[in-house]
Amino acid sequence: MECLRPGGWLIDEDADWGLAAPIDPTHRLYDGYQRSWRHGDWWTVRGYDKEFGRKLPALFERCGLQDVRHEASTEAARGASDWARWWTVTLDVFNELGRGDESDRREVRVMTTALADPTMWFLRELLHACWGRRAA
In sequence order, which residues have a C-beta less than 8 Å from that of residue 122 and are 6 or more positions away?
20, 21, 22, 23, 76, 77, 78, 79, 83, 84, 87, 115
- pLDDT of 65: 97
Mean pLDDT in runs of 10 for the chain (136 residues)?
A: 91 92 97 94 86 96 97 98 96 83 92 98 97 96
Strand partners, 22: 122
- pLDDT of 66: 97
- pLDDT of 63: 95
- CA distance linking residue 111 with residue 67, whole number of Å: 40
- pLDDT of 99: 76
Nearest alpha carbon to residue 71 among 51, 60, 50, 56: 56
